[in-house]
Amino acid sequence: AKPQEYKERLEKRHETKKDVLGHSKQAEFVRVMEQEFEQRDKMAAGDGASGGFTKNKTLGSILNLEMIKDKTGEEIAQLWMQYYSTKDTISAAIPSQIYEVILGRSKSCPMFLFALPQKEGYEFFVGQWSRHELHFSSLINIQMLGENAPSQLILYHYPDLKEEKGVVLMTAEMDPKFITVHQAQCLANQVQLFYGTQRQETYRLVETFNHHPEDFKHMSVIAELEQSGLGSAGAPGGS
């Protein structure tokens, strides 16, 4: 309908692709993102949701909690994984002690830049924690749309059984136009790699991104991915 406007948007997208998230602009980028996600959280709180695709989705709406009260954490984890194995999404059963580490770190470092392997190179996604949800939006979308950039993948963590059964259940929703199940699994694996790691050098990247953004280098994320073996996990044909 508006050829000139469309042409300008295409040119802007082309420039954005060339403008890889770099050393000099990182601090400014993090400040802007903090403001945008803060506004998103306020809007979510206002309508009683937490910004996800499904509002107020509880564990009880997925599992019959009465039926599993006599089962062990291992049995519940097995049921959870079996239930989602036939669905077009991902799932996980996270031991409570590991989730405690991830959750604690998410409070002090609520954002990180994740790298998704593609056929050629990597595509960057910004992950932002909102309580027990982790929202992913592609860096290109954020640079183009700012606070209007939609979540393309959301990981939902349910800590309801954490104390009694020793397990935290996770599942996800994604926009299939942008994210495949295989790619969602790759990003979810990176959450444990960077937030659940016992290797301080790995977690230091998350701390640097949040607290010393001027020192953050996006290539360090790629190097860590490749060292861990996840560097080819998101590309078609990866494992």
Which helix (H) or strand (E) segment is 223 a member of? Answer: helix 218-228
CB-based contacts of 207, cutoff 8 Å, min separation 6: 108, 109
State residue 209's pLDDT score. Answer: 95
pLDDT band at 100 (very low <50, low <70, confident <90, very high): very high
The token pair that represents 184 in the structure block? 């969602």
Instruction: Reduce the secondary structure of 123-190 to three states and give it as a string.
Output: EEEEEEEECCEEEEEEHHHHHHHHHHCCCCEEEEEECCCHHHHCEEEEEEEECCCCCCHHHHHHHHHH
- Segment 194-220 mean pLDDT: 93
The token pair that represents 23 in the structure block? 């050393």
Report the SS3 class of residue 96: helix
- 103 touches 96 (CB < 8 A): no
Please say if the pLDDT value at position 190 is more than 70.
yes
pLDDT in tens, 59-83: 998 888 888 989 999 999 999 999 9
Tell me the pLDDT of the chain averaged across its residues: 81
pLDDT in tens, 130-188: 999 999 999 988 888 777 788 899 999 999 999 999 999 999 999 998 899 999 999 99
State residue 50's pLDDT score. Answer: 39
